[in-house]
Amino acid sequence: LAILKKRKAIRVMITGAAGQIGYALAPQVATGAMFGSDQPIILHLLDVEPAKNALEGLRMELVDGAYPLLQGVFTFTDVAAASKDVDVAVMVGGYPRKAGEERKDVMSKNVSIYKSQASALAENASKDVKVVVVANPANTNALILAENAPSIPRENITCLTRLDHNRALGQISERTTTHVSAVKNVIIWGNHSSTQYPDVNHGSVVGKPIRSVVSDDAWLNGEFITTVQQRGAAIIKARGLSSALSAANAVCNHVRDWVRGTPAGTWVSMGVVSDGSYGVQPGLVYSYPVVCSGGKWRVVQGLPIDDASKERMRTTEAELVEERDLALQCLAEKSGAAQ
């Protein structure tokens, strides 16, 4: 891949960098978790004006980390300046939900950020910029970004569902007392929300089908699914704050596999702009199983889908349609109010 071969520093922008995820993510990127231990990095850290001091504190700590791969750290409060020549944009900027809220409850605050930042990104970033939206509602923010940045290729705009994917691997690993690296090919379908469908029907543990190793369909069809769907809420309840280190780790996994490729025989879950695969409405940002090579992802095609799974896939798709319509309505109301 061009950006790896030239060994020129890769410019990574992190928006919302003064927040919790930013604090966990920046050092992970600096130590090579995103592109490997031989790839130099330049960080562009963006946050809002009131977070300027916290952002400067993060910059000082990164300098004090004396990271061999880190060739520069720049801080910004202007998105156009922050986006200049970036190769990867990790969009974390926004507001997290609180206990008792659904992710779509932060829609009105967050979706307008994605509309307003889209054109700055499109105009200033590298032509082949790879974008991963993390801020919630992640799929719908990515959809709004894609619609407002038509010059960025659709396939370069994704959202994070790798955290859900990793959560599913973790649950199967604990249940089977098998190391997580031996659990493969679970799938997260649909929305990064409580309607997502964590699907084990095509997954394996040490090369054997998950369903034959676990052999407890009631657990796989019930508690396993709800645990993964509700894990974000469980972490908010336990920490009083939403997940941060696991989210940062998932971002690094997502970008690493996208840029460097997925291991042979393994797929991962990514929220991508649907081309209609598996009957999903084209244009929605829907999480699919994907394999990556040469810096491109492709949806794994032809998996047999049973009726119960079809139903769950449709439920999460319907929520994405509802979110998209709600987002468009919020944006229309805001632009109406501004006139």
Was 264 annotated as part of a binding site? no
Q: Which stretch binds ligand LMR (CB under 6 A): 36-44, 82-90, 235-243, 265-273?
A: 235-243
CA distance 258 to 296: 6
CA distance 57 to 66: 15
Phi, psi of 325 (to 5 degrees): -65, -40
Toward ligand NAD, which CB reaches closer, 46 or 169? 46
CA distance 268 to 165: 7
Tell me, by CB under 6 A, how many residues bind ligand NAD.
28
**Which pair of structure tokens corresponds to residue 277?**
């695969």
Residue 121: what residue type? Answer: L
At its nearest, how many Å lie between ligand NAD and the CB of residue 48?
Answer: 5
**Residue 122's binding partner, choosing from ligand NAD, ligand LMR, none, with beta-carbon cut-off 5 to 8 A by kind?**
none
- 44, 192, 202, 254: the catalytic one is 192
Please, are residues 138 and 160 in contact by the beta-carbon 8 Å criterion? Answer: yes
Please, are residues 208 and 128 in contact by the beta-carbon 8 Å criterion? Answer: no
**Which pair of structure tokens corresponds to residue 317?**
């798709």
* Site track 6-45 with ligand NAD (rule: CB under 6 A), x = hit: ---------xx-xxxx------------------------
DSSP 235-256: HHHHHSS---HHHHHHHHHHHH
Was 117 annotated as part of a binding site? no
Is 254 an active-site residue? no
Which listed residue (94, 190, 232, 271) binds ligand LMR by CB under 6 A? Answer: 232
Q: Which stretch binds ligand LMR (CB under 6 A): 15-23, 59-67, 82-90, 229-237?
A: 229-237
Q: Does the footprint of ligand NAD cover residue 247 (CB under 6 A)?
A: yes
CA distance 292 to 259: 8
The residues annotated as belonging to the active site are 192
| Residues that constitute the known binding site | 16-22, 47, 97, 103, 110, 134-136, 167
Residues that bind ligand LMR (CB under 6 A): 96-97, 103, 136, 163, 232-233, 235, 242-243
